[in-house]
Amino acid sequence: MRKLLLLICLMTIGLSAVDAQGYKELIKDNPAYAGANMMNYHYDAGVYTPAPKGFKPFYISHYGRHGSRYDTSDVNAEKVWPIMREAHRLGLLTPAGEAFCADLDAVLSEQDGMYGMLTGLGAKEHRQIAERMAANFPEVFSGAKGRRKVECLSSLSPRCIVSMTNFSLSLDRNTKGLDFNFVTGNRIYDIIAYQPQGTAPKKVAATKEEDVRRETMKPMEIIEYFFNDTGAALELTGDPYSFEQRLYLASCVGHLSDHGTCLLAHFPYEVLVRNFEVRNPRFYLSYGMSDEMSDYQIQISRKLLSDIVEKADAALKDDSQTAADLRFGHDTALLPLVGHLRLEGLDNWVAFDKVNEVFNSATQICMASNLQMIFYRNKSGEVLVKLMYNEKETSIPSLNGFSGPYYKWEDLREYFVSLL
């Protein structure tokens, strides 16, 4: 027992050290982290806290972002790739620029005709998450007391539907006798991916980002790094601020593809850090617990939270046959949800200029990010819930738990309802 406790302690310390690693160190170790919310999913194995004596898992409520994808459109690529290729033709690229272009062709050949779609890596991410879910909570999928139904809801987006498909196929492969039901549609989208009418928050975020970009970025550094003739380069690129922004954004997806080419690895480290420091708070301003946006994010998550409570209430009935409710959507719904719930590390309102001190979109809302609520019950009918974010145990600091990461469902439900 003493050795086991020591092992748990050491692993917890190790995981804490990883979580505490700053974005600058992460980017230095792996330039892909500079892509902010465009980072692929990373799973760190840990030790789970055993459930209190007598409690067994029987139901899971889940929300997952789609897995790694190609760029959503060519809005940035069509502005910068022709420039880089023309510079190559004219002999205007430095060795660093030529190396970038060589990898660019590999990315473009894979992305052609696949904008917005799930990559092979994204499919793999969801298959592996489902495989671990089946292994970690086999009791949920054992079919005990007739619980064999798995309800799967998806956004209308093909990348979400294909994520759902891969997740479900893997879950089915690693269990026996489950009955899956798949649903999508406008009504479903309005629940699990709701976006309030109006574009004010996005406009505020875009304006704020542009102001900060003009104040802090040094676009001539990237021009001089990739091009050997500054004057000719500026004739090709136009506004260097806009060119650098589009080049960075269009390069954030290379490592998400099947080919796995990290275009960001060709950028100077300082350039990557500055771009992350602008992009990261812009995304949080749009969808996180932002001081500037007040309760906009809460509006997004209300319907989703209501669905979680309603489905859980139904699943807790003795005659329920539901083993799991799985939802597949977007970061633009998941980040508002976990912020609304005030999960640990996401439980405070933050101003734009403070976001980088407390939030890292590359680790906290990466591709395939997921919230899992594991429901446990004992023979007396008492129900406990464990919260897991990206497959790590988490908590709600403002709510008293029952034991470790476990909460009484009656307390958690009351808290959820109060948020509505």
| Selection from 399, 395, 398, 397 nearest residue 410 by Cα | 399
Half-sphere exposure for 373 (CA within 13 Å, toward CB): 26
Provide the token pair at 226: 């990739």
Q: What is the pLDDT, as a whole number, of residue 364?
A: 95
pLDDT digits (tens, 9 = 90+) for 263-308: 999 999 999 999 999 999 998 998 988 888 767 888 899 999 999 9
Considering the chain, what is the average pLDDT of its residues?
90
Q: Rounded to whole angstroms, how far apart are CA atoms 307 and 297?
A: 17
Chain centroid to CA 379: 37
What pLDDT, on a 0 to 100 scale, did the predictor assign at position 18?
A: 40
Contact partners, residue 124, CB within 8 Å, separation at least 6: 67, 166
Q: Are strands 392-393 and 383-389 parallel, antiparallel or unpaired?
A: antiparallel
Question: Looking at residue 199, what is its pLDDT?
Answer: 62
> What is the model's pTM?
0.91
Q: Which of 264, 233, 211 is nearest to 99 (CA)?
A: 264
| Tokens describing residue 260 | 């796995």
Does the structure show a pLDDT above 80 at 413?
yes
Phi, psi values for residue 152, rounded to 5°: -120, 115
Q: Which of 62, 41, 151 is nearest to 338 (CA)?
A: 62
Most confident of 10-14, 211-215, 232-236: 232-236
pLDDT tens, 221-273?
A: 999 999 999 999 999 999 999 999 999 999 998 899 877 789 999 999 999 99
Cβ 249 vs Cβ 76: under 8 Å: yes
